[in-house]
Amino acid sequence: MSRIIQISDPHIVAPGALTCGVVDTAAALRGLVQQVNSILPAIGPVDLAVVTGDLTDHGRPEEYDHFREIMSDLQLPYRVVPGNHDVREKLRAAFQDRPWINSGSGPVNWRLDLGSCVVIGLDSSVPGVPYGAFTQETLDWLEDHLVQLQDCPLLLMFHHPPVKTGIVPMDAQNLRDSLALKVLLRGYAGTCRIACGHVHRMLTTSFAGHPLVIAPGSSHAVTLDLRADSPNSLTLEPSGMVLHSLAMPSAEDPDPDYVSQMIPASACEGPYPFEG
């Protein structure tokens, strides 16, 4: 069994500042890190945490320093993929000491082989614009790995969802040109789960025949407004993260259950026994 915690869209700013003037994203991420650490004895072992983009709000070096300082308390190894609020070169510079960060100036893509699955992180960011897209380099890289993996269980993680959510301002910023990705994933014979961020809301749907999960934000949500003229705005709804659990197929269970469950980002009262 492999377990991966997905954290998304922390939008960290410089110490002392508020994101969009109203959200203390640093306090929220600190609380989330504490929450993860406190529940690990009950849900562990967990192999890895992955932050699916928008680590920072403006992609500034001091924001990445702040992000890393907060995440240094997490009692898990973690990896990241860039979002539209990140700046690829600044993100790469901030994590240059991590062996999983590739060199050069191209997309930040990586692969991690765990006991019962493979986790792949893809860079869907496009410099200077809010929408996402994969470069041909990324698509070729993914195709090579899918061929190598054959039918191994796969968790594919990137920032921009290749689907529409009904929230018009966010759908205008989703993953462009997703047909090439769809073709690649339709041909994948193994269990594949797709995990994205960007929308700051928990959503499930499917893409290319595979389940797709969008994680909630770690601090604030995009307002649930499905009208055509919905303004792009945020709300301070309860935030969270997602725990993905994947088991390796076996002779006894060739198609094991795969579970993705939302966990609140901060501690809640309880537990209390059902029978008092």
Which residues are at the interface with Fe ion (CB under 5 A)? 9, 54, 83-84, 198
Rounded to a whole number of angstroms, the CA Rg of the chain reads: 18
* Smaller CB separation from Fe ion, 47 or 86: 86
Show Cβ contacts of residue 75 under 8 Å, excluding neighbours closer than 6 positions: 36, 37, 40
CB of 151 to Fe ion, least distance (A): 32
* Smaller CB separation from Fe ion, 31 or 83: 83
Q: Distance between CA atoms of 24 and 16, rounded to whole angstroms?
A: 9
Residue 170 DSSP SS3: helix
CB of 84 to Fe ion, least distance (A): 4
CB of 208 to Fe ion, least distance (A): 21
* Smaller CB separation from Fe ion, 84 or 178: 84
**How long, in residues, is the chain?**
276
* Smaller CB separation from Fe ion, 106 or 169: 169
CB of 124 to Fe ion, least distance (A): 9
Q: Distance between CA atoms of 154 and 56, rounded to whole angstroms?
A: 27
CB of 186 to Fe ion, least distance (A): 26
* Smaller CB separation from Fe ion, 51 or 76: 51
* Smaller CB separation from Fe ion, 84 or 138: 84
Contact call for residues 215 and 7 (beta carbons, < 8 A):
yes
CB of 115 to Fe ion, least distance (A): 31
Q: Distance between CA atoms of 99 and 209, rounded to whole angstroms?
A: 33
CB of 234 to Fe ion, least distance (A): 9
Biggest CA–CA distance in the chain, Å, is 60
Q: Distance between CA atoms of 36 and 42, rounded to whole angstroms?
A: 10
Instruction: Report H helices in the chain.
Output: 25-43, 61-71, 88-94, 136-149, 168-171, 179-186
* Smaller CB separation from Fe ion, 81 or 181: 81
Contact call for residues 140 and 122 (beta carbons, < 8 A):
no
